[in-house]
Amino acid sequence: MVEYVCEPGYFPSINPVCTEDGTWSEFVCSPYFKCSEIRKCNDSMEEKDYWLYAADYQTRVKLFCIWGVGAFVSLQHSNMGSFLEYTITGTDCATSPLDNPETKGAGTTEFQKIKLQIPQGYKIIVYIHFVTNSSLKPTYYGSAKDCYPKDNGCGVLGKFVIDTRGTGFKFPDSLTWKTVGISAVIGNITRSMGGHVITGFCGGDCGGYEVDETGNGTHLQIDINDMPPFKTAELSISGLIVKQFV
């Protein structure tokens, strides 16, 4: 019985065996590209952050793997979306509770992770997962809404914050938003911190804006100048126990 290990971060294309002449059967060590490959040689691997290889950038990226679900970006700073359960009445811009807020879809959500579709170029999925402090109904990532007429000059209440600092990813300038609900308006959407932080204020007469999933705006870009520390994720090592001769 012989143990064979590819270089850290790589796994063999097949299970190599020791032949009668003492040499290994042919195989190729390939880098881990996807979460599903992490468990090829060891199905007891934990669900956690791993370093996976991004061929287009020739570098590794940190992604959280959930078996049977996929890869997620672990957010390091506050990310939130809101549809506030308040409305504005009168001309003094004072807020009051919204009638039936949950039925209307109101709620505020803080996000811990965002899900990716790796084969589609690190495209995010507007997906409710890994959220904390979600009041009433969870909101979509990067969405902001509110519920009051906009002809009273009081601005908007809905707010979202996207903050990818420390993840090694950021959204391209082509990221756009789509209108939802009634009389949707944008107060403003601004970028800062080299494009890693996007803050938006939007609303409507029970409406607002959500991330537009069409086009390439939701395909995250890799920022090699903002990578997380190496020790924050595991570089998987593929260990194989060879039991046979051919």
Q: What is the pLDDT of residue 135?
A: 66
pLDDT, position 96: 87
Q: What is the pLDDT of residue 218?
A: 87
CA-to-CA distance for 82 and 78, rounded, in angstroms?
A: 13
| Residues 88 and 173 both lie in one domain | yes
Residue 126 in any domain: the answer is no
User: Total domain count for the chain?
Assistant: 2
49-69 confidence digits (pLDDT tens): 999 998 888 899 999 999 988
Query: What CA–CA distance (Å, rounded) separates 238 from 69?
Result: 21
Query: For residue range 100-155, what is the model confidence (pLDDT) as tens digits?
Result: 888 888 888 889 898 888 776 777 665 545 556 566 677 889 999 999 877 777 88
pLDDT tens for each residue of 172-185: 999 999 999 999 99
Q: Is pLDDT larger for residue 213 or for residue 19?
A: 213
**Among 234, 226, 211, which Cα is nearest to 115's?**
211
Please work out, in degrees rounded to the nearest 5, the angle formed at the alpha carbon of residue 77 by the alpha carbons of 237 and 200: 130
Q: Which residues pair with 2 in a beta bridge?
A: 242
Q: Tell me what pLDDT residue 7 has.
A: 84
Do 88 and 140 have their domain in common?
yes
Q: What is the CB-side half-sphere exposure of residue 64 using CA atoms within 13 A?
A: 13
* 171 and 222 share one domain: yes
CB atoms within 10 A of CB 227: 18
Look over the chain and give the mean of its residue pLDDT values, rounded to a whole number. Answer: 84
Same domain, 194 and 159: yes
Please indicate, yes or no, if residue 127 is contained in any of the structural domains.
Answer: no
User: What is the pLDDT averaged over residues 215-220?
Assistant: 84
In sequence order, the 6+-apart residues with CB closer than 8 A to the CB of 6 are 12, 29, 237, 238
Q: Are residues 90 and 161 in the same domain?
A: yes
Q: Global pTM? A: 0.85
pLDDT of residue 105: 82
Residues 14 and 84 in one domain: no
121 domain-assigned: no
Mark whether 185 and 94 lie in a shared domain. yes
Q: Report which of 205, 196, 136 is spatially closest to residue 172, judged by C-alpha positions.
A: 196
CA atoms of 81 and 145, how far apart (whole Å): 9
Task: Tell me, yes or no, whether 41 lies in a domain.
Answer: yes
Answer whether residue 16 is part of any domain.
yes
Same domain, 139 and 161: yes
Going by pLDDT thresholds of 50, 70 and 90, the confidence category of residue 245 is very low
- Its domain, for residue 33, covers 2-70+230-242
For the segment 217-229, the average pLDDT, to the nearest whole number, is 92
Is the pLDDT at 243 greater than 50? The verdict is no
Within-domain flag for 25: yes
Paired strand residues for 210: 178
pLDDT at 126: 55
Q: Could you say which DSSP state residue 240 is in?
A: E
Per-residue pLDDT tens for 87-99? 887 778 888 888 8
In the chain, the percentage of residues whose pLDDT exceeds 90 is: 42
Are both 16 and 51 inside the same structural domain? yes
What average pLDDT does the segment 215-222 reach? 86
CB count, 10 Å around CB of 218? Answer: 26
Say whether both 199 and 237 belong to one domain. no
